[in-house]
Amino acid sequence: MSLFQKLIHIDRRIIFILIFFGTAVPLLLVLNLPVEVTKNVKNVYKMVEETPEGSPVIISFDYDPSTKPEIQPMAVAIIQQSLRNKLKLICIALWPMGVQLCNEAFEQVLPLFPEVKYGIDYVNLGYKAGGMVTINHMAKDLPSTFPTDAGGIPIDEFPIMKGINNFSKIGFVVGLSAGDPGLKQWVMVVHDAYGRPVAGGSTAVQVPYLLPYVNEQQQLTGLVGGLKGAAEYEKLINQPGFATKGMDAQSVAHLIIILLIVIGNVGFFITKRTK
Amino acid sequence: MALIMERIGIWVGAILTFAIFSFLYRDNPFYKIAEQIFIGISAGYWFIYTIYNILIPNLFTPLLTNFSANLLLLLPALLGILMLCRLIPRIDWVSRYSIALVVGTTAGLFFKRYLQSDVINQMNATMINPFSAPDLAATIGQLILIIGTVTGIIYFFFSKKHEGVFGGTARVGIFFLMISFGAAFGYTVMARISLLIGRLDFLLGDWLGIIKP
């Protein structure tokens, strides 16, 4: 058996070990590989920057712990930027576990903003089942869709919710999405039916399906895709976090995968020719 | 006490992570135990979550606090009960009324939204003048967008045999489809590696304390 034949029949467990160490070692030895900011991520950043101070905005936590490593860094970065720009954050969840992930993100950010108060500067309205039906209902009557916050307190008691009856006063919606219901539903209702700006972050798997909405029609103002997008956002707000730390490991793992694909293809063509 | 519980939680998480990872070597009892624990806990969690976060706030509390004002809620409650009849083979047919309502309303609602967002707005976004773009790169990008969309649609037009100019155009469409499949594969790899990074960060950081937050 030639070297190439051996390589294309390599035991898959060796590949797993290579990927494991290729990911673990860069986490231990920080390489600080450069992260370039792309236009789609910059558009989300710009949208948040250009929204007038004091505007109420919606952040929707439509993911669960299985995709936390990818989306939570985006949530933390976007919340941080929004609070820095004194926006009023109305948080909701179309996925049940989004409620806890929202609380975790705020726990991480709030020590940087001691002046920020619950109910005045931000609120967590909790989870509501229904996906697109829920968003449609919010557009008609938001208070009856979410009569209380996640803790069961009536929303009339929160100054942040005064005068918010639908999407008309909402500066923008950011959907942090790992699937359905998620960002696509926000685009369909909030932008396409009510004309309000929508941007978001998603898992890398979803990016190819969501990118067509970042178009001339601006169905999506911008899109933060996967851990790479989150690292770009951390760079834009100048607060390196988990995503920036993870990008070294991501890059090395990708190099190993590219190398394996090249070896596999070269080996395949060489053995095919020798046959 | 809270600190001890947190440490125990981290150890349980680490052991279960290794049990799941052990499947990469081959199927084994540790993997099966971790899998069964996950399924059991998930089922229990969702059962309780549904009761406390959907049924109680949306149905029981409104009915118990103001029954007459929320009479309409009895209708979805009844449809929900009908759905449960699927569990009894003799009367499982009554669940079809609930399913019919869900299918009908979903189809009606989604038809309008999908037509607007996925057909009309997407078509508008492709009907652009590429030569009005601010720079050469944008012009080339918009030309690729138009060619890719048109040739891709032609590939999926099956009422005419794919031969001659038509077949050649469809072949160009295949190249665009292949590139999009490649991009989707690349993004999927990126997503899976990100999840591995998350787990390794937990093992090396929270569990072993080798990497600092």
pLDDT tier at A79, thresholds 50, 70, 90: very high
- Cβ separation of B109 and A188 shorter than 8 Å? no
Nearest beta carbon to residue A250 from set B57, B116, B194: B194
**Residue carrying the six token digits 């696509």:** A184
Full residue range of the structural domain in which residue A131 is found: 39-240
Question: Are both A80 and A103 inside the same structural domain?
Answer: yes
Distance CA A250, CA A247 (A): 5
Q: What is the C-alpha separation between B70 and B59, in angstroms, rounded?
A: 9
Q: Cβ distance B157 to B167 under 8 Å?
A: no
Residue B89 · residue B77 · CB < 8 Å? no
Residue type, B129: N
Sheet arrangement for strand A223-225? A122-127, A88-93, A56-62, A173-177, A198-202, A223-225
Has residue A245 been placed in a domain?
no
Residues A51 and A127 in one domain: yes
So what's the pLDDT on residue A25?
Answer: 94
Give dist(CA A130, CA B70) in Å, integer.
19
Q: Evaluate if residue A3 carries a pLDDT over 90.
A: no
Please give the Cα distance from B173 to B162 (Å, whole number): 12
Question: What is the ipTM score, two decimals?
Answer: 0.90
Residue B203: how many CB atoms within 10 A of its CB? 20
Chain B residues in contact with A96 (beta carbon < 8 A): 49, 53
- Least CB–CB distance from B187: residue in A127, A207, A253: A207
Rg (CA), chain A: 22
Q: Give the integer Cα–Cα distance in Å for A142 and A138.
A: 4
Which tokens go with A37?
A: 């900011």
CA distance B87 to chain A (A): 23
User: Which positions in chain B have a beta carbon within 8 angstroms of at least one beta carbon in chain A?
Assistant: 24-25, 49, 53-54, 57, 109-110, 113-114, 116-117, 121-122, 124-125, 128, 180, 183-184, 187-191, 193-201, 204, 210-211
pLDDT for the residue numbered A262: 92
Please tell me the distance from the alpha carbon of residue A93 to that of residue A128, in angstroms, as a whole number: 7
Residue in chain B closest to A228 (alpha carbons) equals B190
| Confidence tier at A9 by pLDDT (50, 70, 90) | confident
Residues A9 and A145 in one domain: no
Residue B106 CA to residue B83 CA, distance in Å, equals 17
State the DSSP H helix or E strand holding residue A60, giving kind and residue range, or none if neither. Answer: strand A56-62
**Same domain, residue pair A92 and A48:** yes
At residue A198, φ and ψ (nearest 5 deg) are -130, 135
Do B110 and A132 make contact, defined as CB atoms within 8 angstroms? yes
| Average per-residue pLDDT for chain A | 94
Do B197 and A28 count as a contact with CB atoms less than 8 A apart? no
Measure the CA–CA gap between A171 and A160, rounded to whole angstroms. Answer: 13
* Contact between B113 and A19 using a beta-carbon 8 Å cutoff: no
Residues contacting residue B206 through CB under 8 Å, at least 6 positions apart: B10, B13
| Per-residue model confidence as pLDDT tens digits over A226-264 | 999 999 999 999 999 999 999 999 999 999 999 999 988
For residue B78, give every residue at least 6 positions away whose Cβ sits within 8 Å of its Cβ, in sequence order, or none: none
Tokens 């399924």 map to which residue?
B39
Give percent of chain A with pLDDT exceeding 70.
Answer: 100
A25-63 burial: b if 16+ Cβ within 10 Å, else e: ebbeeeeeeebeeeebbebbbebbeebeeeebbbbbbbb
- Taking a C-beta distance cutoff of 8 angstroms, is the pair B16, B34 a contact? yes
Work out the pLDDT band at A8, boundaries 50, 70, 90: confident
Backbone angles phi, psi at A151, to 5 degrees: -90, 0
Element (H, E) at A175: strand A173-177
Structure tokens at B68: 């007459």
A147 and A165 share one domain:
yes
How far lies B74's CA from each of A80, B55, B77, B80, in Å? Answer: 43, 12, 5, 10
pLDDT for res B24: 94
Q: A123 and A67 share a domain?
A: yes
Q: Does A216 touch chain B (CB under 8 A)?
A: yes
Would you call A219 an interface residue with chain B, using a CB distance cutoff of 8 Å?
yes
pLDDT of residue A1: 66
Do A88 and A12 lie in a common domain? no
Q: What is the pLDDT of residue B58?
A: 87
Whether A188 sits inside 8 A of B183 (CB atoms) is no
- Give B163→chain A minimum CA distance, Å: 29
- Does A70 contact chain B (CB < 8 Å)? yes
Residue B152, both tokens:
């891709």
pLDDT tens, residue by residue, A139-175: 999 999 999 999 989 999 999 999 999 999 999 999 9
Distances (CA, A) of B138 to A215, B128, B131: 12, 12, 9
> What percentage of chain A carries pLDDT values higher than 90?
88
Is the Cβ of A228 closer than 8 Å to some Cβ of chain B? Answer: yes
Instruction: State the smallest CA–CA distance between residue A53 and chain B in angstroms.
Output: 30
Residue A204: which of B24, B194, B200 has the nearest Cβ?
A: B194
B29/A235 Cα distance (integer angstroms): 44
Query: The CATH number of the domain where A194 resides is what?
Result: 3.40.50.10160
Q: Are residues A22 and A253 in contact, defined by beta-carbon separation less than 8 angstroms? A: yes
CA atoms within 13 A on the CB side of A48: 29
What six digits make up the tokens of B161?
């045999």
Q: Do A205 and B193 touch (CB under 8 A)?
A: no
Tell which wins on pLDDT, A36 or A270.
Answer: A36
Using a CB-CB cut-off of 8 Å, the residues of chain B touching A207 are: 187
The whole-angstrom separation of Cα B38 and Cα B42 is: 6
User: Tokens representing A135?
Assistant: 């968003």
Q: Is A100 within a domain?
A: yes
Asked if residues A220 and A184 have their Cβ atoms less than 8 Å apart, the reply is: no
Q: Which residue of A has its CA nearest to B177?
A: A208
Long-range CB pairs of B13-17 (<8 Å, 24+ gap) are B13/B202, B13/B206, B13/B207, B14/B202, B14/B203, B14/B207, B17/B199, B17/B202, B17/B203
| Same-domain status, A150 and A16 | no
> Contact at 8 Å (CB) between A250 and A229?
no
Q: Which residues of B touch A228 (CB under 8 A)?
A: 190
In a domain, A158, yes or no: yes
Looking at the structure, tell me whether residues A58 and A24 fall in a common domain.
no
Nearest residue, CB atoms, B200 vs list A24, A205, A215: A24
Per-residue confidence in pLDDT tens, chain B, 213 aa: 888 999 999 999 999 999 999 999 999 999 999 999 999 999 999 999 999 888 998 899 999 999 999 999 999 999 999 999 999 999 999 999 999 999 999 899 889 999 999 999 999 999 989 998 889 999 999 999 999 999 999 999 999 999 999 999 999 999 999 999 999 999 999 999 999 999 999 999 999 999 876
Domains identified in chain A, total number: 2
Q: Residue B121 has what pLDDT?
A: 94
Residue type, A109: V
